[in-house]
Structure 1
Amino acid sequence: MHMPMSVSVSWPRHIQTADWSTSSFPSPVRVSQRLRVMGSLFVIMLVFIITAVLVKVPLEPFHFFLSTMVKIVIINCDLWAILQAFGAVLQGSLFGMAGLLPASYTTPIMSGQGLAGTFAAFAMICAIASGSELQDAAFGYFITACVVISLSILSYILLPKLVRCPFIPSPRPEIQNIDHCSTSPSHSRQLSASLRNQISQTLVHPQLAPFKIWILALSVCFTFTVTIGTFPAVTADTKSTLSDGDQYFIPVSCFLLFNLCDWGGRSLTAILMWPGKDSVILPASIGCRLVFIPLFMLCNVHPRAHLPVVFHHDCFFILFMILFAFSNGYLASLCMCYGPKNVLPHEAETAGAIMAFFLSLGLALGAALSFLIRILV
């Protein structure tokens, strides 16, 4: 008796994070990975181009000033909402793709994010040193972003032509649809024992992947909640006790130092991955990062209304920042590398996208928490 039974759960191919608040549900419509990545890159580049043009929009004469500003605010709110959405789609697609590969392939994605932050911090310092107008600096930022995205699009187009990856499994019709297996005895005999086990597990638990990685997913979420809850809402208001009013203190000791150490921590996972994915040391270490919140709150942060200053000297702030940033990069990268390896091979893409969703969720929760933390200082 023919009993149609589809194992083609569309979830593994389309979990997307259109924003931190966007839930990931199975979709009946298949969107190719190439379209997701290329489409997101083109939309993001378009947003930056429009924003760069708006930077140069003249606001004179005065009676047009208010109306023009309102238009710019409205347009930019919409544009940045689009940017965040497609940026999340791109991130989910990339981590889903990396989930199909060995864990070492996730490290370059995490490291690239740290490098981007370092580049932005250097750009800020160069803009301050050059003494350029705010409008010119902003225009330069957005044009540079357009150039970098163009290079990313070109690289994505050329990469498949240059390298053929041996790790990505070829599509398996017997996994995608088992209808034919039930009616074709010869085809059924060709299935290996391990493959049958994978199919049976998928039939019984078609959405098992999230439960296998929930500790790692919550860990990466908690990591970024602590990080964004403190940086930069609290750290950017720290005042130097050695150089009164130095305009380079925050750009260098806060933004540049954080991004350099964060980049170093992310990159270290390329040669060292300790503790292991099943070790309790990993979530325990992430939990210990909570101590950085009161440490930064007790630094020389101004204005302040409630807590005393305990760590006056700049060296305390710099030491805390090094440990804070390095632990963020290293531990978050470990979680992102381990997540897709805790599931079956055909669930790896789903796991990678889920990990990207919880990363984005951590960023959003941290941003919301930062208001409360700053008020308590």
Structure 2
Amino acid sequence: MSPREDAPADRGFFVGIIFFILGLGTLLPWNFFMTASMYFNNRLNTSEWSNGTVTTRKEYYFNNWMTLLSQLPLLLFTLLNSFLYHWISEKMRIAGSLVFILLLFILTAVLVKIPMEEDRFFSVTMATIWFINSCVCVCVQEFARFYLDRKSKSCELETSNRLLPTGDVEGSEKTSDLSVGSVPNGNPNKGDSGVSEEEGVRQAFIPLQSENTSTQKSSILEVFKKIWLMAFCVTFVFTVTLSVFPAVTVDVKTGYGGKWERYFIPVFCFLLFNVMDFTGRSVTLAFKWPSKDSRLFPGLVVCRVIFVPLLMMCNVQERHYMPVLFSNDFMFAAIMVFFSVSSGYFVCLSMTYAPQLVEPKDGETAGALMTFFLALGLSLGAALSFPLRLLV
């Protein structure tokens, strides 16, 4: 589809760069606190000594709370944002949110140098995580709205073109003349029924117009009935993923020790997951299997639940109930590869297939519903991480 003359210009690819930066701003807080979990855990999970022995030890479950308080704002503000954008300008929402995130990051950095009692430090950190992730959810752009409106108008134009009668140019011109109320030879040609030719053409097209030219969007329930399977898939994928990553995987210990222990989790947990997740999403650009109508697709999504016990039986420390079956570092890495690739692949397929299951006029509603269920899956997974970590 060729660009319209009135389309906003993207000089120097600045719009693309802005979207890239907004993407960084969205995921940076989550990855910042996740990769710094060792610092937070070391500062929070301190032991009290009495007469040379450990008397008490308080477990804060930082990774679990960090995951939960990062995803709940996404679920909440995804809903609130649909009401807020009418009242607050785009510049205020985007610039204000990014400035507030910057200030909270500065606060987090300053706290590194400030001695603080553990309970208070934990409360301040959790509040910071909540507000930072609330801010990243409040974003919309004029450029995107233009093309959303353009898509809607293009669909209406396509529908109107389908209603025009086919035939030679002369026939089209006559139909056009009749549609604007002109009368051949200055007088309407009436048949035996006394109805003018113009009126006959108009009446002939009324039923067709009533059936096909309706631009009223379907209700949310009607759209959900068409995409419920994709909504289930994206919810289930993220529920499985967030239930063990990072709350369980971050506590896996290397079997080699030494200097490698410092880099084991950053490389084999965080870097490997993000690279492979991105790879899984990118594969869908050239390869989409199974199809959106295949029952195999939701079946494969459900099968991902096997990664939960597999990762729990890696060398997670400390543990109390489950045995360690995969103590080797490379076994953990292999499980993480399939775990993260499948997560990115199935999420991207679900989000791609959902708008294809509805009419173009309902595409925006389908996208909003899928975003809600994506956030729901993240929140459910974060909540499940608490009992799963206790079961290890």
Is 1:360 the counterpart of 2:360? The answer is: no
Residues 158-207 of structure 1 show CA distances to partners (whole Å, capped at 9, x for unaligned) of: x67xx97996222869x9xxxxxxxxx9999878948734739857x564
For residue 307 of structure 1, what is the amino acid of its counterpart?
M
8 Å Cα contact 1:262/1:326 also seen in 2: yes
Quickly say closer, same or farther: Cα 1:273–1:61, change in 2 above 3 A: closer
8 Å Cα contact 1:40/1:87 also seen in 2: no
For residue 234 of structure 2, what is the amino acid of its counterpart?
V
For residue 52 of structure 1, what is the amino acid of its counterpart?
F
Is 1:233 the counterpart of 2:247? The answer is: yes
CA shift for structure 1 position 20: 1.6
Aligned to 2:233: 219
Segments of structure 1 that go 5 or more residues without pairing to the other structure are 1-16, 94-155, 176-184
Q: Structure 1 length normalisation: TM-score?
A: 0.61
Is 1:54 the counterpart of 2:107? The answer is: yes
CA shift for structure 1 position 308: 1.0
Please give the alpha-carbon distance, in whole angstroms, between the structure 1 residues aligned to 2:114 and 2:288: 60
Matches within 5 A, 1:297-376: 297-376=312-391
Aligned to 1:81: 130
Q: Secondary structure at the match of 1:229?
A: helix
Aligned to 2:94: 41
8 Å Cα contact 2:101/2:135 also seen in 1: no
For residue 169 of structure 1, what is the amino acid of its counterpart?
S
Q: Secondary structure at the match of 2:75?
A: coil
Segments of structure 2 that go 5 or more residues without pairing to the other structure are 1-71, 160-198
8 Å Cα contact 2:77/2:137 also seen in 1: no
Please give the alpha-carbon distance, in whole angstroms, between the structure 2 residues aligned to 1:209 and 1:306: 45
Please give the alpha-carbon distance, in whole angstroms, between the structure 2 residues aligned to 1:58 and 1:78: 13
Please give the alpha-carbon distance, in whole angstroms, between the structure 2 residues aligned to 1:272 and 1:189: 46
| Structure showing greater relative contact order (alpha-carbon pairs closer than 8 Å, 6 or more residues apart) | 1
Residues 227-257 of structure 1 show CA distances to partners (whole Å, capped at 9, x for unaligned) of: 0101111111111113356110111011100
8 Å Cα contact 1:217/1:358 also seen in 2: yes
Matches within 5 A, 1:73-222: 73=123, 80-90=129-139, 168-170=151-153, 193=208, 196-197=211-212, 199=214, 202=217, 207-222=221-236
For residue 98 of structure 2, what is the amino acid of its counterpart?
M
Residues 254-301 of structure 1 show CA distances to partners (whole Å, capped at 9, x for unaligned) of: 110011000100111111111111111111111000000111111111
For residue 107 of structure 2, what is the amino acid of its counterpart?
L
8 Å Cα contact 2:78/2:137 also seen in 1: no
Count, aligned residues: 277
Aligned to 2:300: 285
8 Å Cα contact 1:219/1:283 also seen in 2: yes
Quickly say closer, same or farther: Cα 1:241–1:369, change in 2 above 3 A: same
Please give the alpha-carbon distance, in whole angstroms, between the structure 1 residues aligned to 2:75 and 2:114: 40
8 Å Cα contact 2:98/2:135 also seen in 1: no
Please give the alpha-carbon distance, in whole angstroms, between the structure 2 residues aligned to 1:225 and 1:369: 8
Percent identical pairs in the alignment equals: 34
Aligned to 1:20: 75
Query: What is the aligned-residue RMSD (CA, Å)?
Result: 4.2
CA shift for structure 1 position 21: 4.4
CA shift for structure 1 position 80: 4.1
CA shift for structure 1 position 304: 0.6
